[in-house]
């Protein structure tokens, strides 16, 4: 069974999507906007509890890839091209879980989500004034990938450092990151037609981006004749 996009768009009418590259401030901005406008907050990978439990190798082979790993060194030593393919295929597989989850929680509440749904799919299931793109400078997602202290990235760093010839493994892994965050994918965001902001300075730009996205969201809610509830920050 295939659900047509016009039906999905109807049932997602209370959902607002923030997408883009790493280090653009998406997670922080989504959380702040959710608090300001009294919306349900869905952080990155909010759907993973369900997708991890429900996905099957036949239907979602790339989501299930991590379940088949016998050694995480296999993950970090894949070719850059395979890593790129896997990342974007996983996003497509996960998009169905995201949409189902968002429909289930958004019927009586406005929802804002830090999403990995590809922009091509967002064009089909949402409206211009329900989607914003946040981008960091092109090289930042590669140069600063391991700067964050979150457990997932530090775990991968430890795996890489435990490999024989860890320097070569790190160079290979970074080439994968360069493909994933390369100009081709960056252009897909900038040419998407959605409201787009580029974060140049990780400290100075946060408030400015938050203000601009807040203005867009407020105007969108008012245009839809929905009450705007703004909490005091």
Provide the token pair at 173. 């892994």
Dist. CA 207–CA 53, nearest whole Å: 38
Lowest mean pLDDT among 26-30, 51-55, 82-86: 26-30
Angle among Cα 14, 111, 54 to the nearest 5 degrees reads: 105
Q: What is the pLDDT of residue 99?
A: 97
Q: What is the pLDDT of residue 201?
A: 64
Mean pLDDT of 68-95: 96
What is the residue-averaged pLDDT of the chain? 88
Q: What is the pTM of this model?
A: 0.88
Mean pLDDT of 7-16: 95
- The top-level CATH class assigned to 5-223 is alpha beta
Q: What is the pLDDT of residue 219?
A: 74
Dist. CA 170–CA 160, nearest whole Å: 6
Query: 197 forms bridges with which residues in the sheet?
Result: 134
pLDDT tens profile 149-178: 889 899 999 999 999 999 999 999 999 999
Plot region of 134 (φ>0 → left; ψ -120 to 50 → alpha; else → beta): beta
Q: What is the DSSP letter of 19?
A: E
pLDDT at 92 over 60: yes
Lowest mean pLDDT among 13-27, 97-111, 168-182, 209-223: 209-223
Dist. CA 227–CA 14, nearest whole Å: 12
pLDDT tens profile 126-148: 998 899 999 988 888 888 888 87
Mean pLDDT of 20-37: 88
User: Which of 188, 150, 185, 156 lies closest to 172 in space, CA to CA?
Assistant: 156
């Amino acid at each position: 069974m295939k659900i047509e996009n016009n039906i999905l768009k109807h049932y997602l009418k209370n959902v607002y999507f923030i997408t883009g590259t790493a280090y653009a401030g998406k997670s922080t901005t989504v959380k702040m906007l959710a608090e300001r406008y009294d919306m349900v907050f869905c952080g990155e990978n909010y759907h993973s509890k369900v997708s991890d439990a429900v996905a099957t190798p036949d239907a979602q082979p790339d989501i299930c890839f991590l379940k088949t790993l016998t050694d995480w060194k296999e993950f970090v030593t894949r070719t850059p091209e395979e890593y790129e393919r896997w990342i974007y295929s996983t996003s497509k597989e996960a998009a169905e879980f995201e949409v189902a989850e968002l429909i289930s929680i958004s019927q009586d509440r406005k929802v804002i989500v830090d999403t990995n749904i590809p922009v091509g799919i967002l064009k089909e299931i949402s409206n211009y004034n329900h989607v914003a793109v946040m981008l960091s400078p092109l090289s930042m997602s590669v140069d600063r990938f391991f700067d964050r202290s979150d457990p997932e990235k530090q775990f991968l760093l430890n795996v890489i450092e435990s490999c024989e010839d860890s320097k070569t493994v790190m160079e290979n892994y970074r080439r994968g990151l360069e493909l994933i965050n390369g100009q081709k994918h960056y252009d897909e965001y900038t040419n998407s037609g959605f409201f787009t902001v580029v974060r140049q300075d990780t400290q100075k730009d946060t408030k400015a981006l938050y203000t601009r996205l807040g203005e867009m969201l407020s105007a969108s809610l008012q245009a839809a004749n929905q009450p705007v509830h703004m909490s005091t920050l």
